[in-house]
């Protein structure tokens, strides 16, 4: 995964974890389901909940054996709960089945005019297909293919066809009032680089400054080259910078940067989609000697336009690793809408995507009447699922020929992704994490010391949830030793 995109994903997860208000209490048990059974929760887990001030009724646990003879555990598991980013498991599992592991997104470029001696008299049209992986280096490669098709000068506009997705009402300030944060970018059928701008601060102790590098380069940007360096501990380095990024084309950093921090990155949800695309494309085009006298604007592909170049993404089975290992919310939203596009036709809507996922689960014998799908990423105040149903889905996935693709997409405890620094059951569990204010969750698979394999889901909805990691770690360690 592109470095900036990976950092964006991790940054998005961390910021989102302190971004929303309280989740509502768990709903009562689902009608028609038998009461949950199994043994009692382990003592270390219960003790950690008490120490964090979390009532056990606000914490759900499901442990389901995937081999004969294993132990079972189910507690408070039938109520609809906020799952945070573990909802990405539902989206990615449905996508593997509905789209197929080899599915690719395609971005196309057309000439709507006459090409003569390298000059295009007319528009250059980009038609987006919802690709969540069109990061800056991939757009650069697409620009090279346009050049290879013979275009050196664009005498018309660059037209952006975003009609693969219906417009999704999106105000980046609505979720938490932090509209400049990278995780608050909305979905876009022609999404480039997650619409993010990264400022890297690189210490130069000899000069007493930190050098500022912006990625990607934007045409028309005025960027100061350095910010004063400071001594002392790293601390809240962003606050120390006293940065104003409200105008991403003219950011200002009036403070200082603690040199002890090493190199750090500040990711910004930059500009609206069309001016962002325009600034990125113009910079790439003109750096290579190209000329462009028009502007960027939105519009559908004109009749009679001629295909010049295209780019296909990596296959879905690889893309979901970026989504799940690094909990990339923007990519998950792109994938969710892609499900809607392929199942219900274009333009895709979130309603069509939710309908397709529900139908898929029902066809697998897993109707989930409590399931609420909002954007498919878990970065939502509305999304809900019963932990028992999430565990049942994981158990069903384990028996599927597509199981290896799903499991390989999950973070490995103590090794990579969002669980890289967790020492509980290190190396023995593939689990997706979920973090929002008042929500902590884990869901995935674990191999016990006995060799038995388990599906495990644990969700906490409570104002004290931020102190829940010790409880979930105790649960993972207990299952590894005793399963």
**Average pLDDT of every residue of the chain:** 90
**Residue 396 resides in a domain:** yes
Query: CATH number of the domain that 401 lies in?
Result: 3.40.710.10
Place of tokens 């400054």: 209
Question: CA-to-CA distance for 185 and 193, rounded, in angstroms?
Answer: 11
pLDDT at 460 over 50: yes
DSSP secondary structure string, 249-313? TS-EE-SEEEGGG-SEEEEEE-S-HHHHHHHHHHHHHHHTT-EE-S-EEE-PPPTT-EEEEEEEP
Q: What is the pLDDT of residue 183?
A: 60
Q: Burial, 37: exposed, middle or buried (Cβ in 10 Å; 0-12, 13-18, 19+)?
A: exposed
**Residue 38 resides in a domain:** yes
Phi, psi of 458, deg, nearest 5: -140, 125
pLDDT at 51 over 50: yes
Q: Are residues 383 and 431 in the same domain?
A: yes
pTM of the full structure: 0.90
pLDDT grade, residue 181 (50/70/90)?
Answer: low
**What are the residues facing 39 on neighbouring strands?**
73
Across 380-403, b (16+ Cβ under 10 Å) vs e yields bbebbbbbbbbbbbbbbbbeeeeb
Q: How many CB atoms lie within 10 A of CB 451?
A: 8
Q: Which residue has the higher pLDDT, 120 or 14?
A: 120
CB 369 within 8 A of CB 380: no
Q: Are residues 217 and 287 in the same domain?
A: no
Q: What is the pLDDT of residue 168?
A: 76
Can you tell me the mean pLDDT for 54-77?
95
Q: Are residues 116 and 96 in the same domain?
A: no
**Residue 278 resides in a domain:** no
Our count of domains for the chain comes to: 3
Q: Burial, 154: exposed, middle or buried (Cβ in 10 Å; 0-12, 13-18, 19+)?
A: buried
Question: CA-to-CA distance for 158 and 126, rounded, in angstroms?
Answer: 7
Q: What is the pLDDT of residue 314?
A: 97
**Residue 184 resides in a domain:** no
Q: How many CA atoms lie within 13 A of 363 on its CB side?
A: 9
Q: Are residues 376 and 463 in the same domain?
A: yes
**Residue 350 resides in a domain:** yes
**Residue 226 resides in a domain:** yes
Question: CA-to-CA distance for 183 and 172, rounded, in angstroms?
Answer: 9
Q: What is the pLDDT of residue 476?
A: 98
pLDDT at 99 over 80: yes
Q: Are residues 449 and 340 in the same domain?
A: yes
Q: Which of 186-195, 355-364, 460-469 has the lowest mean pLDDT?
A: 186-195
236-277 tens-digit pLDDT: 999 999 999 888 899 999 999 999 999 999 998 878 899 999
Question: CA-to-CA distance for 324 and 341, rounded, in angstroms?
Answer: 21
pLDDT at 88 over 50: yes
381-421 tens-digit pLDDT: 999 999 999 999 999 999 999 999 999 999 999 999 999 99
Q: Are residues 350 and 449 in the same domain?
A: yes
What does DSSP assign to residue 131? -
Q: What is the pLDDT of residue 6?
A: 53
Q: Are residues 114 and 130 in the same domain?
A: yes
Instruction: Tell me the residue range of the domain where 241 lies.
Output: 198-269
Q: What is the pLDDT of residue 41?
A: 82
**Residue 397 resides in a domain:** yes
Share of the chain above pLDDT 70, in %: 88
Phi, psi of 17, deg, nearest 5: -70, -15
Q: Are residues 117 and 217 in the same domain?
A: no
322-340 tens-digit pLDDT: 999 999 999 999 999 999 9
Q: Are residues 135 and 210 in the same domain?
A: no
**Residue 277 resides in a domain:** no
Q: Are residues 81 and 110 in the same domain?
A: no
Query: CATH number of the domain that 121 lies in?
Result: 3.50.80.20
Q: Are residues 457 and 343 in the same domain?
A: yes
Q: Are residues 97 and 115 in the same domain?
A: no
Q: What is the pLDDT of residue 93?
A: 98
């Amino acid at each position: 995964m592109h470095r900036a995109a990976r950092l964006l994903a991790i940054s998005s997860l961390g910021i989102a974890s302190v971004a929303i208000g309280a989740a509502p209490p768990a709903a009562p048990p689902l009608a028609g389901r038998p009461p949950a059974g199994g043994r009692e929760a382990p003592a270390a887990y219960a003790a950690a909940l008490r120490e964090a001030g979390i009532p056990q009724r606000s914490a759900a646990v499901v442990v389901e054996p995937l081999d004969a003879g294993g132990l079972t555990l189910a507690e408070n598991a039938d109520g609809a709960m906020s799952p945070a980013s573990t909802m990405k498991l539902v989206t990615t599992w449905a996508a593997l089945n509905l789209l197929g592991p080899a599915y690719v997104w395609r971005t196309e470029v057309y000439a709507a005019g006459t090409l003569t001696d390298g000059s295009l008299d007319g528009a250059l049209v980009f038609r987006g297909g919802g690709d969540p992986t069109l990061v800056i280096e991939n757009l650069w490669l697409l620009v090279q293919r346009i050049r290879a098709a013979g275009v050196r000068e664009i005498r018309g506009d660059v037209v952006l066809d975003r009609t693969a997705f219906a417009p999704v009402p999106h105000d980046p300030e609505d979720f938490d009032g932090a509209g400049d944060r990278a995780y608050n970018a909305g979905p876009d059928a022609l999404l480039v680089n997650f619409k993010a701008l990264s400022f890297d601060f690189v210490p130069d102790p000899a000069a007493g400054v930190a050098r500022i590098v912006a990625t990607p380069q934007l045409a028309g940007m005025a960027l100061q080259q350095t910010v004063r360096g400071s001594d002392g501990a790293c601390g809240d380095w962003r606050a120390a910078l006293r940065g104003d990024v409200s105008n991403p084309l003219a950011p200002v950093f009036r403070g200082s940067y603690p040199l002890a921090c090493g190199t750090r990155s500040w990711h910004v949800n930059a500009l609206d989609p069309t001016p962002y695309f325009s600034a990125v494309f113009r910079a790439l085009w003109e750096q290579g000697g190209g000329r462009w006298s028009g502007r960027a604007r939105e519009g559908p592909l004109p009749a009679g336009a001629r295909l010049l170049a295209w780019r296909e993404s990596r296959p879905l089975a690889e893309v979901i690793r970026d989504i799940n290992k690094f909990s990339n919310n923007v990519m998950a939203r792109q994938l969710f809408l892609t499900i809607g596009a392929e199942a219900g036709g274009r333009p895709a809507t979130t309603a069509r995507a939710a309908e397709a996922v529900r139908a898929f689960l029902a066809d697998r014998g897993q109707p989930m009447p409590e399931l609420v799908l909002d954007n498919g990423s878990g970065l939502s105040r509305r999304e809900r699922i019963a932990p028992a149903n999430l565990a049942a889905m994981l158990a069903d996935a384990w028996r599927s020929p597509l199981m290896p693709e799903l499991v390989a997409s999950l973070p490995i405890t103590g090794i990579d992704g969002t669980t890289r620094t967790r020492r509980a059951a290190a190396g023995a569990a593939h689990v997706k994490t979920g973090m929002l204010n008042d929500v902590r969750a884990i869901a995935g698979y674990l191999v016990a010391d006995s060799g038995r394999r388990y599906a495990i889901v644990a969700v906490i909805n409570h104002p004290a949830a931020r102190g829940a990691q010790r409880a979930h770690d105790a649960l993972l360690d207990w299952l590894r030793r005793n399963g």
